Amino acid sequence: MPYEELTYKSFCWCLGTTSFRTENFNLKIEQQLRLLNEFWSLHLENNFSWSGSDHVQEKYYEFMQEKGFVKGNAARKDKDAREKTSGLVDIGLIDSNRKLTNVGKALLDISLLGDFTPDNGLMLPKDSFIYFKQLLKTCNNVDGKLVRPMLVLAYLLSKLDYLTLDEATYLMPLCTTKEITVDMVNKIMAIRQGRLTIDEIIYGIIMSMDNYKKALDILLNNDVTEILICDIGINRKSRGYDAPYFKLYTSLKSMVLEHKES
């Protein structure tokens, strides 16, 4: 039967980026701030704008190459330059035009002076204290609602005393509303008492959302084709990414429902 097009809605928040993964992360961030500051200083008279300019982004990649910050030769220099800097935008050290914010300038000053001696009540090194404050301010927009991950963490810890790695990895990001966050405390306690599993919690939250309910209804009430699998996959990048799941579906159906073995 005909069905309406499904739209993606996130059931969790995320913190950080997979585009720039590296050792000595703090050091790399501070080196990046130095490079950006120097890059823009060199091009003050050119009136360069980062946004929408592949040329400027490519020039910055080449500048990073020249300074030894990146190795090799990226196929898409502009894309690589965006990826290398996007995380700094997310934590407020640079703006969307890749210019240093006041926070970024303060962090750069600390780095240039080389004095990281703690001067705060938490006794964190000066640069780490800036990162900590930025994390407190960091928020995610989940379906029109702003979620502050560090406040979610603080709330859960205040109620549970600790979180296991699995609880922090798989359950904390599901806390996208006040109601889910409050209820998550009870769910985690139930896990620790052996009355619930992480998989059950994830499934329950996903299947409470209208778009996934509709996807299940479409799956159950239509002939399953590769096109349908791609439609209900609601893949944000490309429907084609879900095409291999059709083969998985047919294999599982054959083995589990039809009791056939290949």
162 burial via Cβ count (<10 Å: 0-12, 13-18, 19+): exposed
Q: pLDDT (tens digit, 9 = 90+) per residue, 103-144?
A: 999 999 999 999 999 999 999 999 999 999 998 988 888 888
d(CA 204, CA 186): 14
Report the pLDDT value the prediction gives residue 214, as an integer from 0 to 100: 94
Report the pLDDT value the prediction gives residue 144, as an integer from 0 to 100: 86
Q: Are 33 and 104 in contact (CB under 8 A)?
A: yes
Q: Which amino acid is at 144?
A: G
d(CA 219, CA 162): 40
Q: Are 35 and 100 in contact (CB under 8 A)?
A: no
Report the pLDDT value the prediction gives residue 8, as an integer from 0 to 100: 86
Q: Which amino acid is at 198?
A: I
Q: pLDDT (tens digit, 9 = 90+) per residue, 33-83?
A: 999 999 999 987 777 889 888 999 999 999 999 999 988 888 999 999 998
The structure's pTM equals: 0.76
d(CA 95, CA 90): 9
Which residues neighbour 28 within 8 Å (Cβ) at sequence distance 6 or greater? 20, 22
SS3 211: helix
d(CA 206, CA 211): 9
SS3 38: helix
Q: Could you tell me the CA-to-CA distances from 5 to 56, 215, 233, 240 in Å, in that order?
A: 38, 10, 11, 15
Domain residue ranges of the chain, discontinuous segments joined by +: 25-134, 144-206, 223-262
Least Cα distance to 29 among 69, 72, 61, 59 occurs for 69
Residue 262 has pLDDT above 60, yes or no: no
Rg (CA), the chain: 23
Phi first, then psi: give them for residue 136, nearest 5 degrees.
-60, -35
